[in-house]
Amino acid sequence: MKHMTWFGALAAGLLLSGCSPKESTTTGPSSSGADKQMVEVAAFQGGYGIDFYGAAAQEYATKNNVEVNVWGNPRVWEQLRPRFIGGDPPDLVFPGWGMDHWALVAEDQLEPLDKYLDGPAPEGEGTWRDTFEPSILALGKQDGKQWILPFYFNIQGWWYDPGVFAKNGWVPPKTWDELLALCEKIKASGIAPMTFQGKYPYYMVEGMLLPWVMSIGGKPAADALQNLEPGAWKSPAILRAAQMIDELNKKGYFMEGSVALSHTESQSAFLNGKAAMIPCGTWLYSEMKSNMPANAKIEFFVPPVIPGGQGEPTAIIIGIEPWMVPSKSTAKEHAVGIFKHMTSLSKAKQFVEEKGTLTAIKGSDEAKLPEVLIKPKEAFKASKAVWSVEFKYWYPAMYTEIQNALTAMLNGQLDPAGFVDRCEKEAEKARNDASLVKHKVP
């Protein structure tokens, strides 16, 4: 059944996407390398590009007498699907968000990486494992084995313009009550208190709904949602979080029309002063810096917590970008070697400085950080409860339905009770689907 599920899904994806050509290819020198082993690296080309990966791979290739072919595009997973089906995957893979890496694990498509992690660090003393932030590395572990390796990671939070807030005497809210009071002041000033990326509801799922579930019900409530425990999506914590979003909406605290906006449209509205706050990950600055008004600044803060809630007030949601070595790679040692070079402290610091994001490597945040990363770094260091939304990878159809239900509530088609009912029905559907591999939060 597992093989039917996995390859059936891949085959369906192949029929939809076709075998489109590779884009943005970076290839190592080949004029004198006919007798050298080729190492192929396929990488998602998002806001941070793939130039860093190509340069790092070429550095490794020069030192180790191999050829490298580093390529990628914004929908790289569409080219990877037929490669996995055909048993000829690249040697090192970063597929982005479009491929279920845990399904790859279930089908024995990935190489366990513990023996490499327990080897020497790329620089200095200790093991390679020791160089990673433990809470981030743990996100790639299942059944006692490390399948996925992180590189950069994102932190979910809220953003505001400190200049605008200082000018108006506003202070970023730390609690729900402070948020309500602030929103009323902002609305009275003629600015929308908040906007959001309505076309992509996961921004609000992970920026509002789930942080408030954690704040209200603590880790048990958040874990229960992800573990598909019966009734978890109708718990008091999820209902209260939905009611909070509904209250903000009905009080007119969201910018009109936000539900129809793309990520860049809503973020542009925020940057141009049409809304005072927005939920987003730490990629916000990198994604929008070319469109930022000259006088605009942005600063991060942790979503307001609920006084009296059972959750840890410093809790934050992070997300990793998964790198992996296919089990059918023909150059596993060199694939690992390239990624090991990329994750050396010196290279990780370089990535932080060049790309403006944080990495999973200890000490890399001691690089010359962009100003917008200082607050996220402080939040990560101070957090006593770092967690990740994993069910979006485990049960993607369910995650899509949760997003659709949230949009329906924001459009007034569902009340909070109807929202949680719809979510619980979808969770029950996933729970009873024998073809789905079930997972548990560690």
Q: Per-residue pLDDT tens for 281-316?
A: 999 998 898 889 988 999 999 999 999 999 999 999
pLDDT value, residue 442: 73
Give 138-172 pLDDT, tens digit per residue: 999 988 999 999 999 999 999 999 999 999 999 99
**What DSSP assignment string belongs to 251-274?**
TT-BPTTGGG--HHHHHHHHHTTS
User: Tell me, what DSSP letter sits at residue 207?
Assistant: I
Q: Are 311 and 146 in contact (CB under 8 A)?
A: no
User: Tell me, what DSSP letter sits at residue 191?
Assistant: S
Q: How far is CA 354 from the centre of its chain?
A: 20
Give 318-329 pLDDT, tens digit per residue: 998 899 999 999
Please give the torsion angle defined by the CA atoms of residues 204, 369, 387 and 44, in that order, rounded to the nearest 10 degrees: 70
User: Tell me, what DSSP letter sits at residue 107?
Assistant: T
pLDDT value, residue 369: 87
Give 62-107 pLDDT, tens digit per residue: 999 999 999 999 999 999 999 999 999 999 999 987 788 888 998 9
Q: Are 141 and 442 in contact (CB under 8 A)?
A: yes
Question: Among the residues of 94-147, which ranges form H helices?
Answer: 101-106, 114-117, 134-137
pLDDT at residue 33 tops 50: no
SS3 for 24? coil
SS3 for 44? strand
pLDDT value, residue 18: 34
Q: Are 152 and 321 in contact (CB under 8 A)?
A: yes
pLDDT value, residue 34: 56
Give 225-237 pLDDT, tens digit per residue: 999 999 999 999 9
pLDDT at residue 31 tops 80: no
pLDDT at residue 347 tops 90: yes
SS3 for 18? coil
pLDDT value, residue 15: 32
State which amino acid sits at residue 145. Answer: K
CB within 8 A of 266, min separation 6: which ones? Answer: 195, 196, 197, 198, 255, 258, 275, 278
pLDDT value, residue 200: 95
pTM of the model: 0.86
Interval 256-262 mean pLDDT:
97
Residue 166 token pair: 């200082």
Mean pLDDT (the chain, rounded): 91
Pick from 302, 277, 272, 310: nearest CA to 377? 302
- Share above pLDDT 90 across residues of the chain, in percent, rounded to a whole number: 80
Pick from 279, 282, 308: nearest CA to 373? 282
Distance between CA atoms of 70 and 98, rounded to whole angstroms?
19
pLDDT at residue 40 tops 70: yes
- Which pLDDT band, with edges at 50, 70 and 90, does 21 fall under? very low
Pick from 292, 308, 304: nearest CA to 194? 304
Which helix H or strand E contains 81, and what residues bound it?
helix 76-85
Interval 211-219 mean pLDDT:
98
Q: Are 20 and 78 in contact (CB under 8 A)?
A: yes
Neighbours of 368 (CB within 10 A): 7
Residue 387 β-bridge partners = 317
